[in-house]
Amino acid sequence: MAPFLLTHALLPNLKKSPKGRVIIVSSISQSSSLDFDNLQQQKGYSAHNAYSISKLADAMIAYELADKLQGTGVTVNTLDPGTVNTKMLLEGYATDLLRCTWTEINGLL
């Protein structure tokens, strides 16, 4: 919701700028699907699925904004920062293999 609200609040200034840019941080986790009958996940909640849905919503916002702002000089893109060593990753989503090898993998990046 934040990218949507902030971008809409800034649209007048973005349109005045010769090269307005909107970049929404997303994730490969957006590779999900939406169940419009269960958007609030009242059935079958999982933290990973909630995160995936939020990232998919960010991408959908970006696509819609890009379409609506065509011809205004404002571009809209999404960015996937890749895997980042965060508590959420290591405690919530990582496989045991990733947890064991993160230090070695991180050293290579």
Domain ranges, ordered by start, for the chain: 2-78
How much is the pLDDT for 68?
92
Cα gap 85→53, rounded to integer Å: 21
Cα gap 94→103, rounded to integer Å: 13
The verdict on pTM exceeding 0.85 is: no
The answer to whether the beta carbons of residues 43 and 97 sit under 8 Å apart is no
Residues catalogued as catalytic: 51
The angle at the Cα of 67, spanning 63 to 71, to the nearest 5 degrees, equals: 140
Residues 66-90 have pLDDT tens digits of 999 999 999 999 888 777 777 766 6
- 96 has pLDDT over 60: no
Residues 17-68 have pLDDT tens digits of 989 999 998 876 666 677 788 877 788 887 777 778 888 888 888 999 999 9
